[in-house]
Structure 1
């Protein structure tokens, strides 16, 4: 369970870094394209502002402002009309970069929710309760034994909570940093 949560967390963290890098590369390509790509660059900057303010979740009940902002980047790219072969080839590359960004974003969104199944969590909690109950049943009742059980149960519960918290990387105490997106935003603004 610890390994699963750790792998989920590290995978999403790596994906966020790669996503941010690809945003910077797309922005550089749009800069190379020239003034015609300015609207798409502005839309990309708007997307980054939304993404930093409201990280994407796989919760479809909330409005997805960042997703709509990223769609606006795609619409701006569709409206670009190349004037020569160089711009045509560059635009093809830019559109491929954009599609890669959309794929990465949805990969991050879909993997952002926990991977540890609830039946496993319930089974582990029942098993730990049974073990502590059986130890407590046979142990003498004095202050040291009671304190030891309380401390041990607290430490195990805390570790259990942290593992479950790490399994959902955009919520809770342990979260994926938005620093890569902030750096990408600073780069796009410059």
Structure 2
């Protein structure tokens, strides 16, 4: 919702800037609207437009790179979950408690990180509200950390009786350590949002650019419509950038398919 509000604010600022420029042009004296003045304004605005396009490009590249990196890490995270479960399964019945703890953690991580996709019919409205406001990112909450720690304690409590079991226990411990480390990587990646100052400066620059456009534009339906569409397009661009900067929140998110498949593998 925050991204949508900011995008709407961008649209209002840009279109309002263009309209303000049109309004101002009708109240300026003729000597302020000469061809020489127009050339000077276009030169200055061109420099600002170049900087604005550079900032937009940097923001887009940054959030897209972070989003793709988070998506890859989620895939790797699910791979570790599955391979850990396989190692515990091969260990034998003595590892059933550790497998149950791992399944419980995986289900909890899926429910808390992607609550709409995993809301159960019997779940209360209070529980759904708690999930909706829970910290995301597989998952940055004390409850999630305790559940994952329980998996580690269960694995370390195993008492191997054969060389194969000893090897599988060592493998499970390594998988658990990698899982814990990658979880914190995902938490940090989910918190890497676009700096507020970037967004503010960009909005100011774009508003100034649109004001200069309106300053020397005729007031007719075509001009107003073009400014309206351009402001809407740039507002949409800002919306997409802000949405991708939060990989686990909003409309554009990392899909839960991999985690769902991991859970299915564990419970079958």
The normalised TM-score by structure 1 is 0.93
Partner residue in 1 for 2:224? 146
- Cα RMSD (Å) of the superposition? 1.6
Deviation at 1:21, TM superposition (A): 0.9
Deviation at 1:63, TM superposition (A): 4.2
Partner residue in 2 for 1:50? 108
Aligned positions of 1:91-102 closer than 5 A: 91-102=169-180
1:14 partnered with 2:14: no
Partner secondary structure for residue 101 of structure 2 = helix
1:171 partnered with 2:249: yes
- Alignment partners' CA distance in 2, 1:71 and 1:52: 17
After superposition, the Cα gap between the structure-2 partners of 1:113 and 1:63, relative to the gap in structure 1 and judged at 3 Å, is closer
Q: Matched residue pairs, number?
A: 188
Gaps of 5+ in 2: 1-58, 114-134
Deviation at 1:66, TM superposition (A): 2.3
**For each residue in 1:17-73, what CA deviation from the matched residue of structure 2 results, as whole angstroms up to 9, or x when unmatched?**
111011100000001100111100000000111011001636x9x843322211110
Partner residue in 2 for 1:37? 95
Deviation at 1:77, TM superposition (A): 1.1
- Alignment partners' CA distance in 1, 2:172 and 2:141: 27
Deviation at 1:90, TM superposition (A): 1.8
Q: Which has the larger radius of gyration?
A: 2
Query: Retained in 2: the 8 A contact 1:4–1:115?
Result: no
Partner residue in 2 for 1:26? 84
Deviates more, 1:111-120 or 1:161-170: 111-120
Deviation at 1:182, TM superposition (A): 0.3
- Alignment partners' CA distance in 2, 1:26 and 1:50: 17
Partner secondary structure for residue 219 of structure 2 = coil
Deviates more, 1:109-118 or 1:97-106: 109-118
Query: Retained in 2: the 8 A contact 1:47–1:70?
Result: yes
Deviates more, 1:134-143 or 1:177-186: 134-143
Gaps of 5+ in 1: none
Partner residue in 2 for 1:65? 143
Partner residue in 2 for 1:160? 238
